[in-house]
Amino acid sequence: MDKQIRVLIVDDEEDMRQLLKMYLENAGMICTLAANGDETYKYVNGNLFDIILLDIMMPGEDGFVVCEKLRHVSNTPIIFLSAKGEEWDKVKGLKLGADDYIVKPFSPGELVARIQAVLRRSHTFKNENEMIKSGIIFIDKNARKVMVQHEPIVLTLKEYEVLLFLIEHHGQALSREQLLEHVWGLGYSGSLRTVDTHIKTLRMKLGKADYIETVWGIGYKFEVPAHEISS
């Protein structure tokens, strides 16, 4: 990755913020520090970050609340950092729109590798300026932005990847297994219902641009009606 990664570190503990900053600056990243939700919203509103590292256990609004609010205004990838390693917490975090969940303690190498993996999946560092138009949906792959009739819609990273994969295979029936393997990876241990849940929320966000069709017994396909395909 040639571009310098800009990271927003959100943790109420000063020592932890400084430790994470040291880890990531040693890896060539640029770090901004926030101690709570209020500081986070101000930074996100005025800055373009490549990724957000978000602690869960914070006074006032915890990381779950902060993540949920961020997802209404930002597509920036989010990684939860938490001492809570219970499965329920991980599932809740991912359902709220986080892209990864790392349990403390972790090594500097693991943290850097997980950040890079999330960013590779998010297409943040694609060099080509690719624009995709499908019906009334416009996707700027370089900026990872989605618009419906020029109105931006906010998608989580996984929703974005599901939509992009469907569009890039326009008219092709894709199984849930194919979607799960492509978007979540071979090592993902969740169920196929994860795909159905993301398709459901994606359809709601697309509204009148919902071109996702259910293919019974197989999965889903993306197909723009003929009358909406521009010549």
Question: pLDDT tens, 5-38?
Answer: 899 999 999 999 999 999 999 999 999 999 999 9
Asked if residues 10 and 47 have their Cβ atoms less than 8 Å apart, the reply is no
Asked if residues 112 and 25 have their Cβ atoms less than 8 Å apart, the reply is no
Cα distances from 215 to residues 183, 219, 229, in angstroms, run 19, 5, 21
Mean pLDDT computed over 149-169? 89
- pLDDT at position 168: 85
Domains along the sequence of the chain with CATH:
6-122 (3.40.50.2300), 131-228 (1.10.10.10)
Type of residue at 5: I
DSSP H helices, the chain, are 14-26, 37-46, 63-70, 87-95, 108-122, 157-168, 176-184, 193-206
Whether omega before 225 lies within 30 degrees of 0, making that bond cis, reads no
Task: Kindly tell me the sign of the dihedral angle through the C-alpha atoms of 36, 159, 139, 123.
Answer: positive
Question: pLDDT tens, 68-125?
Answer: 888 877 778 899 998 876 778 888 888 888 889 998 888 889 999 999 888 877 654 4
